[in-house]
Structure 1
Amino acid sequence: MSDSHLDSAVQAVLQDVMEAEYPVLLDTFLTDSEERLRLLHKAERAADAQALRQAAHSFKGSCSNMGAPLLAGLCRQLEEAARREQLSQTAELIEQIEREFAIVRILFRAERQRYRH
């Protein structure tokens, strides 16, 4: 896996802890992330700084837990922009989050393929 997008040490710990449930964890993260992106877009369209902050915070946490540091960092930037109500920056940050998530999704799907029987 690409260490710039995914933290291999976190991945190794998750694999050890989750064992046979690791593929389910990957699937759940990908599904949840799609919903989180939808919520980011919805809050951004509504110019709802509070909802945007909460959605970014939640996404940041799951990205951190799954070992996606660049994605978590972008979510942190979005969370901070929303906290300061600097909504002029949010569309570009969401775009960057989507681009990084597209890379992470490919890497996790490739990882998931290793567990197919």
Structure 2
Amino acid sequence: MTDPHVDRDVLDTLRDVMEENYPDLLDTFLTDSESRLQELQATADAEKLSEVAHSLKGSASNMGAVRLAELCQALESDARHKSPAEIVKLVAEISLEFDGVRPVYESERQHTHTH
């Protein structure tokens, strides 16, 4: 089954490549994403929004969080042209999407500890 939110092939590849460091990678992704989301929610500065969205997009796409990366891309490229209300809406969407994919990464992490 293909998940529109998370590309499982990317996760499988990461698991193979990272081996015992894979859980750490998942941890780091979750922690970093959470702090970046907080930054997005706390700022109205277009420059800063673009910057934070850019770094979140990079890690999201590395981790196979396809939809999250797309939303971050939208914020990164449009932050300067959006109204504050539109930015709030997009940041809320990014936040919701992260809430949606977080359990995927958390369950991945639990499964990797069982080896």
TM-score over 0.5 (shorter chain): yes
Deviations 1:72-92 (A, max 9, x none): 000011112214354331100
Q: State the TM-score, normalized to the length of structure 2.
A: 0.91
For 2:84 and 2:55, how far apart are their aligned partners in 1? 18
Where does residue 65 of structure 2 map in the other structure? Answer: 68
Percent identity between the two aligned chains: 50
Q: Displacement, 1:103?
A: 1.2
* Segments of 4+ moved more than 2 angstroms: 83-88
| 1:114 partner SS | helix
Deviations 1:17-55 (A, max 9, x none): 101110110001000001100111122xxx211001101
For 2:12 and 2:70, how far apart are their aligned partners in 1? 21
Aligned length: 114
Where does residue 26 of structure 1 map in the other structure? Answer: 26
Are the aligned partners of 1:5 and 1:68 in contact in 2 as well (CA < 8 Å)? yes
Where does residue 42 of structure 1 map in the other structure? Answer: 42
| 1:75 partner SS | helix
Where does residue 79 of structure 2 map in the other structure? Answer: 82
Are the aligned partners of 1:81 and 1:89 in contact in 2 as well (CA < 8 Å)? no
Where does residue 17 of structure 1 map in the other structure? Answer: 17
**RMSD after superposition:** 1.5
Where does residue 51 of structure 1 map in the other structure? Answer: 48
For 1:42 and 1:20, how far apart are their aligned partners in 2? 35
Are the aligned partners of 1:49 and 1:87 in contact in 2 as well (CA < 8 Å)? no
AA aligned opposite 2:110: Q
| 2:112 partner SS | coil
1:93 aligns with 2:84: no
Where does residue 102 of structure 2 map in the other structure? Answer: 105
